[in-house]
Structure 1
């Protein structure tokens, strides 16, 4: 594993920059908003999507802390289902005229089908319907090797790159 953590910050400042990905076969594929925060279901999604990337931040929060974050008026969570099974999710966090893609990913059994670019495209489109001026996200070299490329192909531009020593828990 690399000894340096490289974090790339990307943004899109105009809907016209968006390059959506279309799935040809949508049979059995659906995306539904998680209207009411369900902490246990959210933790399941977070654990399963983030397992390979060692996501931990949200797992360290109490139910109350997590409920407060998810209940925030600017937070939306949309879940991708394939043949009725939850396959991934995208979490948006809007603050004023800026929205962050806070979390996004697929469960491991759903890689390699184009579902990631489809779910990301859905989330980008949803964010731009909220009267924003900027959509941003960050990714790092601990994420999927396809993450940065997916963001760039959807129209994001890198505006900052940070390098720091790899945190001990990842060495």
Structure 2
């Protein structure tokens, strides 16, 4: 396998006023709900299902205990979009301390992309990053929300973040080994 250049963009908001919300999809079929019970199984399902075709691999080897440890940290939240009762995507928030919140993961399952859910979910998740301290006594109020995306993510990822009011503050290019996408299960993308 060969090495390919991968661009990573780092974006931020420094005020809740920076958020430019997207319109919600028409009708009431899409709901966004916080997963309040730590569930390594559900979180791994979301991670593998959303990231399977865009090379999310860093957490695939996590043990059940590692997932639980991460999910039970104060200030870690998972917000899930449901379309007609079916999980469509998620946004994961991770409080980093001193009022900084990372959007650690965000995305949609492939079947739900291109249906105007992503902008709405990102808007909702970013708003929840800004009011995170209201749900977690002891956390400092949010003063910065940041996220990174890369050239392997969906083709509209960077544009979606910018349309939601995130501004670019750093860019990195690194050579990474080209590998097949893992899919949510073995052979998921085989012809």
* Bin of the TM-score, shorter chain as denominator length: over 0.9
Could you say which residue in structure 2 is the equivalent of 1:68? Answer: 69
- TM-score between the two structures when normalised by the length of structure 1: 0.95
CA displacement 1:55-84 (0-9 Å, x = unmatched): 111111111011100111110001110101
For 1:114-129, list aligned pairs within 5 A: 114-129=116-131
For 1:15-54, list aligned pairs within 5 A: 15-54=16-55
Alignment partner of 2:179: what SS? Answer: helix
Runs of 4+ displaced beyond 3 Å = 168-171
- TM-score between the two structures when normalised by the length of structure 2: 0.85
- Work out which of the residue numbers 151, 154, 158 in structure 2 matches 1:148: 158
Could you say which residue in structure 1 is the equivalent of 2:187? Answer: none
- Long gaps (5+) in structure 2: 133-140, 182-191
User: Which protein has the bigger helix share?
Assistant: 1
1:158, distance to aligned residue in structure 2 (A): 0.5
For 1:3-14, list aligned pairs within 5 A: 3-14=4-15
- Give distance in 1, aligned partners of 2:142 and 2:28: 32
1:20, distance to aligned residue in structure 2 (A): 0.4
CA displacement 1:2-40 (0-9 Å, x = unmatched): 821110000000111110001251421111111111111
Could you say which residue in structure 2 is the equivalent of 1:87? Answer: 88
- C-alpha root-mean-square deviation of aligned residues, in Å? 1.7
Is the deviation greater in 40-49 or in 80-89? 40-49
Could you say which residue in structure 2 is the equivalent of 1:108? Answer: 110
- Give distance in 2, aligned partners of 1:117 and 1:36: 25
Could you say which residue in structure 1 is the equivalent of 2:138? Answer: none
- Give distance in 2, aligned partners of 1:107 and 1:137: 19
1:139 equivalenced with 2:117 (yes/no): no
Indicate how the Cα distance of structure 1 residues 72 and 147 shifts in structure 2: closer, same or farther if over 3 A, else same. Answer: same
* Count of residue pairs the alignment pairs up: 171
